[in-house]
Structure 1
Amino acid sequence: MGASFSPGQGNAITLGSLSWVLNAYAIALAALLVVAGRAGDRIGQRPVFLGGVTVFTLASLACALAPDLWALVLARTVQAVGAAAQLPTSLALLLATVPAEGRTRATRNWAAIGGLAAAAGPVAGGLLVQVDWRWVFVINVPIGIATVVAGLLVLPRTDARESGPLPDMLGALLVTVAIAALSGALVQAPDWGWLDGRTVLLFVAAVLSGVAFVLRSVRHSHPLFELDLLRLPRFGTANAGTFVFGVAFAIMLLSNVLWCQEVWHWSAVRTGLAMVPGPALVPVVTLLTARAAQRFGHGPLIAAGGLLFAAGMLWRAGFASASPDYWVDLLPSMIMSGVGVGLALGTLVAAGVSALPGHRSATGSALVNSVRQISATVGVAILVAVVGSHIGPSSRQEFRVSWLLAACLSLLCTFVGVQLTRGAARDRAARTATADNAGMAHSRADVH
C-alpha cells in the first residue's frame, strides 16, 4: 500500500510517516482492548462484538475515501476502536461455549485462525493494490456487513456478568501517550537525530506518561490494566514472553516485506506470494502440536518456538543478498520462523489465558492482546529506527542488525519457555506432595 499511496502527498511520504498507518491502529487498539473487554463483561459479549464489527466496517469505508495520508491515519485510529471491541469479545464468546478443560485448545485454535488470515492477507493485499490501495479497505465493507448479519443470527446471547464503572479512561489516555511518544521518538530519530531536542522531548514524555500510568493503575479502584492479574505467575510470565516475541515477530514481518519490495524491487503481488509459506505454517503447526501442549505443557513448545524463530533470523542475517535468491535467502528462514511462530505465539496466548479465572476471561484476554499490539508497535518503530526512512540495496547492514536483534529477542522468549516449564514442574511437585500428605493423613485416621 505504501508504494501505491499518493493522494495529496507529493514526494513527502517516508517510511517513518507511513509507519503511522500501522502504529496509529496498533496504539489505539492496545489502549482500548481492556476497556472493550470490560465493556463485554458489563454489557454482554454479543452486543459489544457486533458493535465493534459495525464501527470497523464504517471506518474501513472512511479509510478507502481518505484524501491524504493523515486522514487515513485518523480513519485507521477509528478502525482500531472497532477492532478493540471485537478481539476480546470474540475469544470470550468462544470460551463461553466450551468446557473449562477445552479452553486451552480453543484458544490455540482461535490463534491459528489468525495465522490463516496472516497467510492470506499479503496475497490478497498484493492483488488488491494492483488495482488501487483503497481496495484493501473497501473489501472489508461487504465482509463486515455479512459478519453482522451472521452474528445476529447465530451468536449466543450473553448476559452481563459485572456491574460498576468502566476502567480508568485517563489511564487509557496516559498509556496511549506513552506508546505514541515512544514510537514517535524511535521513528523520527533517524531523521531528526537521536540527541535532537524533539527526540529527547518525546522520550521524556514517554517515560513520564508511562510512570504516571503505572502509579495511577496501582492507586485507581478500576485501573485500565489490573496489576493483580500480572501477579499470577503463569499469566505474568506468559505476557512477558508475548511482548518480546511480538517485537521480534513485527520486525521480521515488516522487514521481509520491505526487503522484497525496496531491495529486490519485487511487485506487491510477488512479495505477497513470497510471504505465504511462513504464515501458512503457523496454523498447521499450531493445530498439529495441540496434543503436545496437553502432554508436555506450554513451556517446552514456547522454548522450541523461540529457538527456531531465532535460527530463522540468524539465517536471514547470514545469507541476505542484494541479488534476489528466494530459495536460499528467504524461504528457509521463513520456514524456520513460521514453525517457530506456530509453536510459540498461540501457546503463549494459551498459557496466559489458561491462568485466568473464568469470570475474568474477557478482561484478561484483552490484556493479552494489548500486550501483543504494544509489542507490534514497538517492533515497527524499532525497525524504522534501525533501517531508516530511505531503503535500498545499500541498506543490507541495517537489515542484518534488525534480524540479529529479532533473534536475540526470540531467545529471551526461549528463556520464558524454560521458566514456564520449571514453574509447571514445581506446581506438579506441590500437588503430588499435597496428595501424599492427604493420603498419609487418611491412613492415620483409618488406623485410629
Structure 2
Amino acid sequence: MAALLEGPATDDADPERGRPAAGSGAASGERPPRRRQSPAPRTVLAVASLGVFMAFVDATIVNVAFPDIERSFPGTSIAALSWVLSAYNIVFAAFLVAAGRLADLLGRRRVFLVGLVLFTAASGLCAAAPSPEVLIAVRLLQALGAALIVPSSLGLVLDAFPPERGAHAVALLTAVGAVGAGIGPSVGGLLVTVGDWRLVFLVNVPLGIAAYVLSRRHLVESRTPGRRRVPDLLGALVFAASVSALVLAVTQGQDWGWTSPQVLGAFAASVVLLAVFVRRSAHHRAPVVDLALLRNRTFSVANGMSIIASAGFFAYTLSNILFLTGVWRYSVLEAGLAVTPGPFVAAAVAGPGSRLAERHGHRLVLVAGGLVWGAAVLWLVLRVGTTPAFVAEWLPASVLLGVGAGLMLPNLSGAAIASAPGEDFATATGLHAVARQVGAALGVAVVVAIIGTPAPAQAPAAFDDAWIFAAACLAGAGLGCLFVGRVQAAAPS
C-alpha cells in the first residue's frame, strides 16, 4: 500500500505525448533522464475497463447468489440478509462523487490503485465471511473500493483521449459496465453451481490482482489542473446514513410494525439527516451534490426518474431470481440463464434507441421505453404461472424487459448528463450514478418488505405484488419523462 502513496510518475512529462517538458535537461546538452511514456489511449481504456467491469458485475452477480446465501445462514431473515445487497448500493452511491473529487485532488491513478486494492481485499474477505454480519460489514468496504474505481477510471480515460473523442471513450467505458452487469446473473449462476456463493466473491481476487499489475505497469498519473478542493467526505457519510435509515425503516416495517417507535424513528432520522446533508451541500466548497445543477429542470427530472426506474429495475431483478428458484424450483444456474436474455436484448436496442432520441428527441423515446418496460413486468403478473413454462411465458417477458430497458436506461443517462453544462460533465455523470444506486437500494428494500417470508401457498401472490410495484415504478418513470426538455449532446471537458 505504501507504493500507492508515491508522487505522480509523470509530473515533468508532456501529458499529451509523454515527451520531456520544455526546459528539461535536453535543452542544455545534458542527457535527459528517462521518462515514463504516456500509454496509448486504447491501453488506458482497456485497463480502466477491467476495474469498471469488476465493480458493475458485482452489482448483479450477487443477486443470483442470494438464495444460496440465504440457505447458508438459515437463522437469518431475508430482511437482514437484504443488507448484503443494500449496503453495497448505499455506500457506492454515497461516495461516488466524493471519490471522483478525491481522484482529481490526489491523482486518478493513485485513487484507482487504492480502489483496486480495497475492492480485491474486501472480495476475499467476503468469500471467507463466517456470518451475515461480517459479510455485510465487508461489503461496505467492497463498495467503497468500487466507488473509488469508477470515477477515477472515468478521469483516466478522459485524460488519455483527445477532447473530440472523449464522448466516444466514455460510451465504451459505460458499455463495459453494462456488459458486466448483464452477464453477472449467468456467471453468478455458474459459479454457485460449481461451488457455492463464496466463489461469486472469490472470482474478483485474480481479476483484481491482474488489474492492479496492469495499472502499475501501464497507467500514468493525472490530476485536474488548477486549484482543487478537498471533497465533503463528512457529507458523504451523512448522505449514506440518511439513505440507510430510510432503507432500515422500509425493510423492517413488517417485522417491527409500521407505526412502531423504531420504524418511525428511522424515518425521522432519515429526514433529519437529509436536511443536514442538503445544508452541507449548500455551503461546502466541494459538495457531494451540486445544488446549482438541480435547478436545471431536465437534469433534475432525468435524475429523479432514474431513481424511480432503478428502484423498479432492481425490484424485479431480485424478485425474478427469488421466483425462479423458489416457485419454479430452478437451480441457481438455470435462474441465472433465464434472466440473461433481457440484458443482451437491451444492449442490442440501446444503439438504435439512442439514434432515435438524437433524431426525434429524448422525451418520446423515454416515455415509450418506460411504458414498454412497465408493460413487460405486468406480463409477469398476468401470464406467468406457478408451473415452469420458459418459452411460452418467461422468454417473451424477458425480451420485452430488454426492449424497455434498452430504450430507457441509456437515454435517461444521456438526457441527464447532456443537459448539464460542459464544464460540469464529470459532476453530472457522478450524480446520475448516485441516483441509480439510491434507486437500487430503495428497490431492494421495498421488494424485501413486500415479499417477506411467505408460506408456499402465498408466495405467488407476494411475487405478483412485488412485480406490480416494479411495473408502477417503470411506467411512472416513463410518464415522468414527459417533463424532460430537449437536450443536445456536448463533448465532455
TM-score (norm 1): 0.88
**CA distance in structure 1 between the aligned counterparts of 2:305 and 2:158, rounded to whole angstroms:** 23
2:98 maps to what in 1? Answer: 35
**CA distance in structure 1 between the aligned counterparts of 2:156 and 2:301, rounded to whole angstroms:** 25
2:117 maps to what in 1? Answer: 54
Q: Tell me by how many angstroms 1:209 deviates.
A: 1.3
1:330 is aligned to 2:394: yes
Residues 108, 287 of structure 1: 8 Å contact kept = no
When residues 103 and 418 of structure 1 are mapped into structure 2, their CA distance, relative to the original with a 3 A threshold, is farther
- Match of 1:289, SS? helix
Q: Tell me by how many angstroms 1:199 deviates.
A: 1.4
Match of 1:90 among 130, 147, 153: 153
Match of 2:342 among 252, 270, 278: 278
Gaps of 5+ in 1: 429-448
2:127 maps to what in 1? Answer: 64
Percent identity over the alignment is 36
2:481 maps to what in 1? Answer: 417
1:20 is aligned to 2:83: yes
**CA distance in structure 1 between the aligned counterparts of 2:245 and 2:296, rounded to whole angstroms:** 29
When residues 274 and 256 of structure 1 are mapped into structure 2, their CA distance, relative to the original with a 3 A threshold, is same
1:75 maps to what in 2? Answer: 138
Residues 103, 223 of structure 2: 8 Å contact kept = no
Q: Tell me by how many angstroms 1:417 deviates.
A: 3.2
Match of 2:257 among 181, 185, 193: 193
Residues 314, 444 of structure 2: 8 Å contact kept = yes
**CA distance in structure 2 between the aligned counterparts of 1:132 and 1:195, rounded to whole angstroms:** 39
Residues 41, 363 of structure 1: 8 Å contact kept = no
2:278 maps to what in 1? Answer: 214
- Match of 2:249, SS? helix
Match of 1:182 among 246, 249, 254: 246
Please, which moves more after superposition, 13-22 or 280-289? 280-289
When residues 96 and 414 of structure 1 are mapped into structure 2, their CA distance, relative to the original with a 3 A threshold, is farther
When residues 99 and 13 of structure 1 are mapped into structure 2, their CA distance, relative to the original with a 3 A threshold, is same
Q: How does 1:264-343 map to 2 (within 5 A)?
A: 264-343=328-407
Q: Tell me by how many angstroms 1:95 deviates.
A: 3.5
Cα deviation 1:171-228 (Å, max 9, x = unaligned): 2222111111111111111222212221121111112111222223223333221111
**CA distance in structure 2 between the aligned counterparts of 1:83 and 1:369, rounded to whole angstroms:** 12
1:144 is aligned to 2:193: no
When residues 235 and 129 of structure 1 are mapped into structure 2, their CA distance, relative to the original with a 3 A threshold, is same
Q: Which amino acid aligns with 1:273?
A: L
Q: Tell me by how many angstroms 1:8 deviates.
A: 8.4
1:440 maps to what in 2? Answer: none
Q: Tell me by how many angstroms 1:107 deviates.
A: 4.2
1:405 is aligned to 2:485: no
Gaps of 5+ in 2: 1-64
2:16 maps to what in 1? Answer: none
**CA distance in structure 2 between the aligned counterparts of 1:217 and 1:15, rounded to whole angstroms:** 35
**CA distance in structure 2 between the aligned counterparts of 1:38 and 1:113, rounded to whole angstroms:** 23
Q: Which amino acid aligns with 1:309?
A: W
Q: Tell me by how many angstroms 1:112 deviates.
A: 2.9
Q: Which amino acid aligns with 2:122?
A: A
2:185 maps to what in 1? Answer: 122
Residues 354, 407 of structure 2: 8 Å contact kept = no
Q: Which amino acid aligns with 2:214?
A: A
1:251 maps to what in 2? Answer: 315
2:18 maps to what in 1? Answer: none
**CA distance in structure 2 between the aligned counterparts of 1:292 and 1:156, rounded to whole angstroms:** 38
Q: Which amino acid aligns with 1:124?
A: V
When residues 126 and 243 of structure 1 are mapped into structure 2, their CA distance, relative to the original with a 3 A threshold, is same
- Match of 1:194, SS? coil
Match of 2:230 among 163, 166, 180: 166
> Across the two proteins, how many residue pairs are aligned to each other?
424
Q: Tell me by how many angstroms 1:71 deviates.
A: 0.4
When residues 118 and 220 of structure 1 are mapped into structure 2, their CA distance, relative to the original with a 3 A threshold, is closer
Q: Which amino acid aligns with 1:86?
A: I
**CA distance in structure 2 between the aligned counterparts of 1:293 and 1:154, rounded to whole angstroms:** 37
Residues 89, 362 of structure 1: 8 Å contact kept = no
Q: Tell me by how many angstroms 1:296 deviates.
A: 2.8
Q: Tell me by how many angstroms 1:7 deviates.
A: 9.7
1:377 is aligned to 2:441: yes
1:350 maps to what in 2? Answer: 414
Q: Tell me by how many angstroms 1:15 deviates.
A: 1.3
- Match of 2:292, SS? helix
- Match of 2:259, SS? coil
When residues 157 and 298 of structure 1 are mapped into structure 2, their CA distance, relative to the original with a 3 A threshold, is farther
2:24 maps to what in 1? Answer: none
**CA distance in structure 1 between the aligned counterparts of 2:339 and 2:442, rounded to whole angstroms:** 22
**CA distance in structure 1 between the aligned counterparts of 2:400 and 2:76, rounded to whole angstroms:** 34
Cα deviation 1:352-389 (Å, max 9, x = unaligned): 22233444333332211111111000000011111113
More relative contact order, 1 or 2 (CA 8 Å, 6+ apart):
1
**CA distance in structure 2 between the aligned counterparts of 1:404 and 1:262, rounded to whole angstroms:** 19
